[in-house]
């Protein structure tokens, strides 16, 4: 049992691509079973590649190069595996703005509203943050989510008022 490098996993993605050149769903489990691999890289690959739709959404395709590039971005982010799982479940595809939110201590506050994933302009909050804030600096990201939280605040207060 060993923890693989990103390069080792990238090569494994190429080696195990199907006849159409796509990374198979459940690739992390294949690597766990056949290579005995474990650790952060494999844990994040499990989040990304346990189902076809999530893998294609996060990486933009199921091609080994795109999956490996996306995997590297998540692995190199300061987010923990549980935070990544949460962000992906909320529709996020770019780790950068979420790292800012985690450092500011507001990640879960931004993602959740009344016990469910927040929606912004009809879109899952993770997708909205990734789409709108991926290229923003820390100050812009925090200002944008502050506006979202302020807009949601009257709803939260209304729910608790008699």
pLDDT digits (tens, 9 = 90+) for 88-105: 999 999 999 999 999 999
DSSP state of 104: T
Domain boundary among 76, 99, 132: 76
State whether 28 and 52 are in the same domain. Answer: yes
* pLDDT, position 1: 84
Average pLDDT over residues 15-34: 97
Q: Which residues contact 111 (CB under 8 A, 6 or more apart)?
A: 86, 87, 90, 117, 118, 125, 126
Provide the pLDDT confidence category of residue 38 given band limits of 50, 70 and 90: very high
Q: What value does the mean pLDDT take over residues 51-56?
A: 96
Q: What is residue 51's three-state secondary structure?
A: coil
Query: Tokens at residue 127, please?
Result: 């997708």
Q: Which residue, of 60, 76, 92, is where some domain finishes?
A: 76
The whole-chain average pLDDT of the chain stands at: 93
pLDDT(162) > 90: no
Distance, in Å, from the CA atom of 42 to the CA atom of 148, rounded to the nearest integer, reads 34
pLDDT of residue 153: 67
Q: What's the rounded Cα separation, in Å, for the pair 81 and 69?
A: 17
Q: Domain count for the chain, please give it.
A: 2
Distance CA 89, CA 111 (A): 10
DSSP code for 124: E
Residues 12 and 68 in one domain: yes
Of the chain, the percentage scoring pLDDT greater than 90 comes to 92
Residues 83 and 15 in one domain: no
Q: What domain range is 53 assigned to?
A: 1-76
């Amino acid at each position: 049992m060993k923890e693989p490098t990103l390069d080792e996993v990238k090569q494994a993605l190429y080696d195990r691509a199907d006849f159409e050149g796509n990374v198979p769903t459940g690739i992390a489990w294949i690597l766990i079973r056949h290579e005995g691999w474990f650790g952060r890289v494999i844990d994040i690959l499990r989040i990304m590649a346990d189902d076809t739709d999530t893998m294609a959404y996060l990486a933009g395709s199921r091609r080994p190069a795109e999956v490996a590039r996306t995997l590297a971005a998540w692995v190199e982010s300061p987010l923990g595996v549980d935070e990544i799982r949460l962000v992906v479940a909320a529709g996020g595809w770019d780790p950068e703005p979420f790292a800012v939110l985690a450092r500011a201590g507001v990640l879960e506050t931004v993602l959740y509203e009344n016990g469910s994933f927040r929606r912004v302009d009809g879109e899952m909050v993770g997708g909205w943050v990734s789409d709108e804030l991926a290229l923003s600096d820390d100050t812009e990201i925090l200002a944008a989510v502050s506006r979202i939280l302020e807009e949601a605040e009257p709803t939260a207060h209304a729910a608790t008022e008699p």
